[in-house]
Chains A and B, each alone.
Chain A
């Protein structure tokens, strides 16, 4: 209807587009086309399709949610494992140190006792391991440190059981026993510490409570410093005590009294700056 009303000379857009419909290939083109298609078809039949081509999109869509959930879970597990890895490494190190320290003394203990000991030691294992290292280099310091006290506890518990062969714990206890038996060796570090604190620590050492807190064996820096000085002093005192015990005791007391924190604080507080003048209190 519209086309009949239009002037015969006017060409519409649809007419122009129909010209494109008339763009057709020559008949010989189809012969070539058929040959090529036949070759491709045979090649497609012979060639095995790769496995990813055989996966249809529909099956991928079905699996998209489970695959996504699996990926999220895997990512979470991996990130959690990475997050907790340093802690597990520490535990492994601790376990090794623990075994080297406890195992020789547990030769006659039952497996249940061994497990109980391991459980009780586990929270403060790292200091124990450190104490075992210190045993090799500076035995006097080890006896002074609280971690060594823990060792002493373990040792005493293992000694309490009937052990036929000498263990590391017995060796450590043997040192203590020798120091008690020999009057010359009364100037060991523990005795020094007892005398420094007015003898109150002797009770603590004998009836030391179990190591409930993992931070308990950690010594304060000032204590470590003092222990080092006292340990070096102890070795020199052992030599001096053979000649004159009273002299060594005096020098030990003198140095120990100087090393107290209160004395240090007092000596510092004696000096003061007030404007241009320096005040010294006597």
Chain B
């Protein structure tokens, strides 16, 4: 089989759309590996928001998240010649980002400086905020800010690994198998961590969910 027509050995995405996406990424990666450095910009543009979102929800700090996202892309660029296409590019990129963030969080465990992005109120999020605001009868802006702080506090009470699983599954929408590959653990471990993390979050946020 020629290298150019090589498909991913272990497709994890499941759907045909994701498989197509992974194959497209693989072709871009091959261009970068062949010396077309500018082709890597396409991968940056495609994944920067998702990577930033994962790191931001893990680190709860927008400045750190920006730095870590940039570092993750640079690491991926420096190591792209070692990418063999055995997994999808975005799984490989996520693994770099998650590992960088975990290393950063372990180093800055005692630091408690948080900075949040603003919630974009559109569609579903706006609907949820409206429901909660109507019930509480509070000022909308103040309530959104308070809710954001409570959410982040609850997330930060989780361990780093539990937080990562929740972020990847609930916020970023990855499957259990993809999370297992990103975190280099079994699917059962992912499910177990997810169950435990949601129990803790439920206990922390029950004033919002039961109101």
Contacts and interface: CB of A to CB of B under 8 A. Distances in A.
A266 interface: no
Contacts of B166: 17
Contact of A24 (B49, B73, B132, B209): B49
Contacts of B56: 23
A37 B122 contact: no
A8 B132 CA distance: 11
B74 A41 contact: yes
Contacts of B129: 19
B205 A13 contact: yes
Interface in A14-59: 14-26, 29-30, 33, 36-37, 40-41, 44, 49, 56
Interface string B39-55: 00000100011001100
Nearest to B44: A37
Given A17-B171, A41-B77, A56-B82, A22 B125 contact: yes
Given A23-B56, A23-B148, A15 B205 contact: no
A110 interface: no
A25 B148 CA distance: 15
Contact of B70 (A16, A20, A29, A40): A40
Interface stretch (B16-24, B25-33, B111-119, B185-193): B111-119
A22 B117 CA distance: 9
**Interface centre among A14, A21, A26, by most B CB within 10 Å?**
A21
B102 to A, nearest CB: 16
Nearest to B62: A25
Contacts of B73: 37, 41
A9 interface: yes
B120 A22 contact: yes
B81 to A, nearest CB: 11
A11 interface: yes
B103 interface: no
A16 B69 contact: no
B101 interface: no
Contacts of A279: none
Contact of B209 (A13, A19, A26): A13
Nearest to B128: A15
A23 B74 contact: no
B117 A30 contact: no
Nearest to B71: A40
Given A22-B119, A41-B74, A10 B209 contact: yes
**Interface centre among A18, A20, A24, by most B CB within 10 Å?**
A20
B156 interface: no
Contacts of A56: 82
A44 B119 contact: no
**Interface centre among A13, A29, A49, A56, by most B CB within 10 Å?**
A13
Nearest to A22: B125
B12 interface: no
Given A18-B128, A23-B57, 16 more contacts: A11-B208, A11-B209, A13-B202, A16-B209, A18-B170, A20-B57, A21-B172, A22-B120, A23-B119, A24-B118, A25-B117, A33-B52, A36-B66, A37-B70, A37-B73, A44-B74
20 contacts: A12-B209, A13-B198, A13-B201, A13-B209, A15-B124, A16-B128, A16-B205, A18-B125, A18-B171, A19-B128, A21-B171, A21-B172, A22-B120, A25-B52, A25-B117, A33-B70, A36-B66, A36-B70, A37-B70, A49-B78
